[in-house]
Amino acid sequence: MRPFSLPRRLRRFATETDGYITVEAMIVLPALLMIFAAAWVYFDVFHQQSINQKANYAIGDMVSRETDPIDDTYVDNAFRLLGLLTRTDVNLDEAPEAYPADLRITVVSHDADNDSYEVMWSAARGDFPELTTADLTGYRTRLPEMQDNGQTVLVETSDAYKPLFRVGLDAFEIKTYSFTHPRYAPQVLWAD
């Protein structure tokens, strides 16, 4: 009997060409498919979040450039645009009685004397409620520094994301938030 020699065994293992490729493939293939599915789902989550943020910026930029007062039709069309840009259905989903996407546009004014913020107007589509001045206490740290009587357009979106594969990630909401200063006029008005 020969003594155990690690270098000799490694050399023999490296030159060995026998094996059962079918058995090896059956063992490795499910693991490879699971890794591929998990990587695809996580990539898709980041991709969808990026798309939603860009749609949010586009709507905020669009509203900030308005010189005419905004009305319900404008907000309805902005909601449809959100659905188009994010490839999300913006119609009411009958099963959970909820919208797959939500949009809220709010114009906020700042009073430097009182260091307070006030909602000038807010419009929401989907399941979001309209924002009120009382709700702004939770937004205080998220609002930008503004001049006295300055305004900002706050756009919030939410999109229901459901992963294609079950890889440890449940369905969740992708929420985006942005603010933009009015561009061509000192304020963005709401048509009464």
Q: Is residue 7 part of a domain?
A: no
How much is the pLDDT for 96? 65
How much is the pLDDT for 182? 94
Q: Is residue 53 part of a domain?
A: yes
Domain that holds residue 164: 19-180
Q: Is residue 23 part of a domain?
A: yes
How much is the pLDDT for 26? 85
Tell me the residue ranges of DSSP E strands in the chain: 101-111, 116-125, 151-161, 172-180
Nearest to 126 by CA among 190, 57, 79, 175: 79
Assess contact for 90 and 78: CB atoms under 8 A: no
Q: Is residue 94 part of a domain?
A: yes
Q: Is residue 190 part of a domain?
A: no
Q: Is residue 82 part of a domain?
A: yes
How confident is the prediction along the chain (192 residues), in pLDDT tens digits per residue? 677 788 888 888 778 777 777 778 888 999 999 999 999 999 999 999 999 999 999 999 999 999 999 999 999 999 999 999 999 888 766 666 678 899 999 999 999 898 899 999 999 999 999 999 999 988 888 999 898 999 999 999 999 999 988 888 899 999 999 999 999 888 899 997
Count of domains in the chain? 1
